Structure 1
Amino acid sequence: MTAAVPVISLSLPADRFAQDFGASFERFGFAMITDHGIDPALIDAAWTKARAFFALPEEAKRAYHVAGLGGARGYTPFGVEIAKGAKEVDLKEFWHVGRDLPEGHPLAAQQPNNVWPDEVPSFRTTFETLFAEFDRVGGRLLSGIARYLGLAPDFFDATVQDGNSVMRLLHYPPVEGPAKGIRAEAHEDINTITLLLGAEEAGLEILDKDGSWLPVAPPPGAMAVNVGDMLQRLTNNRLPSTTHRVRNPDAGRAGIARYSMPFFLHFRSDYPIVTLENCVDAAHPNLYPAPITADAYLQERLREIGLKK
């Protein structure tokens, strides 16, 4: 039988959820999560606001491109981001919402404040609310991972407090004719875990251990969740940051745009990523003996994917 990424309900008892979720992460680096509790009306409003923004004229959108930030906030135009090692840019444009920190906060230098478009009513309130909801659900998911790894359920709370998490609003325009590149070339995520809404539209695939590509298509309203490189590093590769891509649509869907909303949950910028002791033994020597802060790791990777020079 073909392997399939499990669909897991967040309403399960905590220990049962932790076991099922952690096992899926260890096997696939991915899971599909239902019953996450984010209000469907809020999600619908977010789709409406995202479509309205990306429908604006190019000049209007580019007014929100902030030079020098590596795409950390505001708008990143079509054809800018490129996967590490890829030859063609991804066929997408996107908007980033981050965490606003108060003036004088010790991490403010690594986390610039948001910019907001004037042209779309309630854009700010909608996405500030959704950001907070992603943050809440992400905390519950990390608690499950902590339990699976034999850690205290609140182990990750301090590691992500005021963390450099980013919500990305993604627009993949229709693909017309033979295209150079694909919507998102094969890559791994940089962050701790990613929570993704919008994967119901076909295209998201993960590279399985045997080299085959497996589709990830959550039930309507559910989210795909995956391990990022920072969590892979922390767990000494016990939880793998799996290569994934968004392939171009089949001919019948080529004229239809694709929208998605990943939430890249990050550690605090100053968090030192030190391999967990209980993920190291004689059979699994420490692959990452030199600690690195989350921000130093992020900046290194942003340069690799073309968002920073």
Structure 2
Amino acid sequence: MKGEFDNIPVVDLSGLAGGAAPEARAATVAALKEALMTSGFAYLAGHGVPEDLVERMRQMNMAFHDLPLEEKMKLKINGFHRGYMPMSTSTIVTSSVAKVTKPNQSESLMIMHEVPEDAPYAGEPIQGPNQFPADLPELKETAQAYMAAMTGLGQRIAGGIAEALGLPVDWFDRHFVNPTLFLRLLHYPEQPDEEQLFGSAPHTDYGFVTLLKQDDVGGLEVRNKNGDWIPAPPIPGTFVMNVGDILSKWSNGRLVSTPHRVKNLSKRDRYSQPFFYDPSMSALVECPAEMLAEGEVAQMEPVLYGDYLMERLNKNYDYRKKAS
């Protein structure tokens, strides 16, 4: 039953790899469907992303946050939503699961998809240059390699999700011609155990799917239907995947976008690197008619993904509120 869970399952994605036997693919799709219809979360094993690349990205995350604040502030987030977000500058006011009044206790570097200078959409909202520290040239190289690998994983997952919804394996492809990609390199310092203070306040994600690599500190929790917060501790060699709001709407509520939060009470620094795999800004998101049962109606009005996303960014980030 949707929302009724007390743990997060491990799903082996090796069945989605090219050349996998049809029965292996069917088993993976079934496991993915069960996880995403019940908890909206899964640990992903057999994902095919090299562990040494994941570890290099983690090391670059730590190295960036070790830079002096004055160096990081040279990269302060720009109007294209790329760059450094200092501590306490994002407050999730659009959260549908909590009234959030205190800013998140985290700092981060936001990196997005590369935009060619001659792209017809260059200069449009969030379509601009990334910012990287000059003193850490390996970060750019590592981030680009990591995002390429994670994009490939996102494409495989989208195919599996399409099949889980009874759609052709390539159904989502036309909506991801120029995917909207976010890699957020997060640092959560040790925080006081204070009411309504979070590393990341209770929220659901905006987009299609989130693929999270967390370190060994822990602190991520997921809320079930009964209101219990279920720990999601790190499992070596896996990513934590979760459904975002736009995928839940796309699936007419079949797949669940589940509230989650981070509290870092470990007395250690926590580092994580969520990767968000989202549709093209120009993609029209509407529930596919071929997925609806007889008499079932679409729960959402069609929306351009770019319009949907910008509304949320404009409300949740201090730098955008001040600019508007």
Partner in structure 2 of residue 232 of structure 1? 248
How far the C-alpha of 1:238 sits from its partner, in A, is: 1.2
Decide whether the 8 Å contact of 2:208 with 2:246 is kept in 1: yes
Mapped partners of 1:216, 1:161: distance in 2: 32
Partner of 1:31 in structure 2? Answer: 42
* Residue ranges of structure 1 left out of the alignment (5+ in a row): none
Equivalent residue letter for 1:223: F
Kindly indicate whether residue 92 of structure 2 is the aligned counterpart of residue 78 of structure 1.
no
Q: Provide Cα deviations, 1:148-196, integer angstroms capped at 9, x if missing partner.
A: 0111111122211211111111100122575761111000111110000
Task: Give the gaps of 5 or more residues in structure 2.
Answer: 16-23, 94-98
CA contact (8 A) 2:212 2:239 kept: yes
Deviation of residue 209 (structure 1)? 1.2
Letter aligned with residue 181 of structure 1: L
Determine helix, strand or coil for the equivalent of 1:267. strand
Name the residue aligned to 1:42.
53
Q: Does 2:4 match 1:7?
A: no
Check conservation: 1:138, 1:265, Cα contact below 8 A.
yes
Secondary structure of 1:32 counterpart: strand
In structure 2, distance between residues paired with 1:218 and 1:174:
18
Does 276-285 or 49-58 show the bigger shift?
Answer: 276-285
Instruction: Give 1:199 deviation, angstroms.
Output: 5.6
Letter in 1 for 2:85: T
Give the alignment's TM-score, normalised by structure 1: 0.92
- Partners of 1:238 and 1:279 within 8 A in 2: no
Partners of 2:5 and 2:34 in 1: how far apart? Answer: 17
Could you say what secondary structure the match of 2:63 adopts? Answer: helix
8 Å Cα contact 1:15/1:144 also seen in 2: no
Aligned amino acid, residue 163 of structure 1? P
Tell me the alpha carbon deviations over residues 229-282 of structure 1, each in whole angstroms, 9 at most, x when there is no partner: 111111111111111101232xxx22x100001011110000011112244346
In 1, Cα distance between equivalents of 2:239 and 2:205: 16
> 2-side partners of 1:94 and 1:248: how far apart?
15
Deviation at 1:2, TM superposition (A): 6.4
1:216 correspondence with 2:232: yes
**CA spacing shift, 1:177–1:297, aligned 2, 3 Å:** closer
Partner of 2:20: none
- Percent identity over paired residues: 30
- 2:280 aligns to what SS in structure 1? coil
**Residue 30 of structure 2: aligned partner:** 19
Matches within 5 A, 1:1-309: 3-12=6-15, 13-69=24-80, 72-84=81-93, 85-108=99-122, 109-110=124-125, 111-176=127-192, 178=194, 181-198=197-214, 200-249=216-265, 253-254=266-267, 256-281=268-293, 284-288=296-300, 290-307=301-318, 308-309=320-321
SS of 1:261's partner is: strand
Instruction: Please say if residues 197 and 223 of structure 1, whose CA atoms lie closer than 8 Å, have aligned partners that are also in contact.
Output: yes
* Residues 128 and 238 of structure 1: CA distance in aligned 2, closer, same or farther (over 3 Å): same
2:145 corresponds to which letter in structure 1? Answer: T
Q: CA RMSD in A?
A: 1.9
TM-score (structure 2 length as normaliser): 0.88
Residues 105-145 of structure 1: CA distance to partner in whole angstroms, max 9, x if unpaired?
A: 23322321211111214111111000101101111111110
Shift of 1:3: 2.1
Question: How far apart, CA to CA, are the structure 2 residues paired with 1:231 and 1:3?
Answer: 23
Matched-pair contact (CA < 8 Å) for 2:167–2:291: no
Letter in 1 for 2:139: F
Question: Secondary structure in 2 aligned to 1:214?
Answer: strand
Partner SS state of residue 164, structure 1:
strand
**Structure 1 SS opposite 2:179:** coil
2:21 alignment partner in structure 1? none
